[in-house]
Amino acid sequence: MSVVSRRGSVVEKGVIDRKVDFVVRNMGSVAWLEGRRRRRKNVLPVDVVRDAVVNAVAHRDYTREGTDIEVSLYGDRLEVISPGRLRIGVTVEKMKEGVVRVTRNDLLKEILRDYGYIEQYGMGVRQRIIESMRAHNGTEPDLVEEQDCFVVRLWKER
């Protein structure tokens, strides 16, 4: 989280903002002609990148020492890898449906909400990540539970 002065201005950006800023600076954009005007957009929607990073911070398994959240930008995709498997009762299918509201870190979830990183519990994957990616470039993100981690893979426009 960011360090804020008494007047409410950001003094130092926190890890979430720094990760999102890194991706925004490096992800690139696409351009096209619309009539006689050139239009341009980021290859990934910034709000989706932000939500993927916030979810990784909120839901990672902090008992797994020596592991970090990984944010990796490739030519065709962004991967956000969060240490730890999904909680019992949570499946990728339930996340896609928006019917799961289980958190691993209740105190952290509340802090993230107080700082404005979380608006609504349990709906981010379906509404903010999947639907936003479809609207932005017609792709659907990969949500993958691997051995000891959870991966969100956001595809750039093909």
Each residue's pLDDT tens digit, 97-130:
887 777 788 899 899 988 888 876 666 788 889 9
User: In this structure, which amino acid lies at residue 155?
Assistant: W
- Per-residue pLDDT at 9 exceeds 70: no
| Residue entry with tokens 């991966």 | 151
- Per-residue pLDDT at 3 exceeds 70: no
The pLDDT assigned to 121 comes to 67
In angstroms, the CA 63 to CA 33 distance is: 50
pLDDT tens, residue by residue, 74-96: 999 999 999 999 888 888 998 88
Q: Is 75 exposed, middle or buried (0-12, 13-18, 19+ CB in 10 A)?
A: exposed
pLDDT tens, residue by residue, 52-80: 999 999 999 999 888 999 999 999 999 99
